[in-house]
Structure 1
Amino acid sequence: MEFDFRKDFITGQATVKLSMGHEAFATWLEQEGQALNWIEGLLTQVVQLQQREITEVKLVGSEFSLLLNQEEAQVINHSLLNNDDDSDLQDDWSFYDLEIEACCGLEDFLNLLESWLEFIQG
């Protein structure tokens, strides 16, 4: 997963651009991950997953839910959780879904979080 961090020096808001297919992680991280202690706590949980001390983590945020297990990380917009799967428009929205749902390996997710923490601390 490729990423690029930026900071608005007027507002102090950090932003991230992620590789195609991972855009939802960027939106989620910008919304939920601005606080150092929140990121540090999440990193602790990722390490616990890697060490097999816990089997899964679910964090419900304002617009997205983060689902972690010992293999992967998934972020999904709440609107998808309430979606009616019988809709004929599903195929038409598949490109848009890239911005509201994404998945990656736990190692890639850990790398993203550690890099993000280092960036927002600086």
Structure 2
Amino acid sequence: MEFDFIYNTDANRYSLKLSSEQLALQCFLLDEFEQKASAYQPLFTQLQQLKPQSQYQWDGKEYRLTVQASEVVICHYALLQEGSADTELDPEQDLELDQSQLYAECGLEDLLHLLAQWQHFLPA
């Protein structure tokens, strides 16, 4: 997974840039956490402890991160069926919404690498 980290000195703001296929992951990392390294540590620690066949779910304000067998899915709640605890997509909304910022997949190792580098880039 390719990524770039950016620090805007005028705005005193940290951001990251991922590929278009990973926009939901980019939004997840920027919108769900404070822009400091320690904010990501609980998620990073939980992900590091997962075994190859483990399942894990992290519910954020706007996104759900799900891990199954070392595959990570980031999905905006707008794509999930109303009242469903599962990560099933609603087919009607699936056609109506631009999914680029709503859904992404990656491997657990890639996400752990990205999180480690991102935490190193951010202030403590």
Instruction: Answer whether TM exceeds 0.5 for this pair.
Output: yes
Q: CA 1:44–1:9 in structure 2 vs 1: closer, same or farther (change >3 Å)?
A: same
TM-score (norm 2): 0.78
Which residue type is aligned with residue 39 of structure 2? W
TM-score (norm 1): 0.79
Aligned-pair distance for 1:63? 1.0
Q: CA 1:60–1:20 in structure 2 vs 1: closer, same or farther (change >3 Å)?
A: same
RMSD: 2.5
Aligned-pair distance for 1:30? 0.4
- Residue in 1 aligned with 2:42? 41
Q: CA 1:46–1:70 in structure 2 vs 1: closer, same or farther (change >3 Å)?
A: farther
CA contact (8 A) 1:48 1:54 kept: no
**Partners of 2:24 and 2:115 in 1: how far apart?**
14
**Partners of 2:119 and 2:96 in 1: how far apart?**
36
User: Share of identical aligned residues, percent?
Assistant: 30
- Residue in 1 aligned with 2:20? 20
Q: CA 1:113–1:86 in structure 2 vs 1: closer, same or farther (change >3 Å)?
A: closer
Unpaired segments of 5 or more residues in structure 1? none
- Residue in 1 aligned with 2:113? 111
Aligned-pair distance for 1:91? 4.5
Unpaired segments of 5 or more residues in structure 2? 83-88
**Partners of 1:86 and 1:57 in 2: how far apart?**
24
Which residue type is aligned with residue 118 of structure 1? H
- Residue in 1 aligned with 2:65? 66
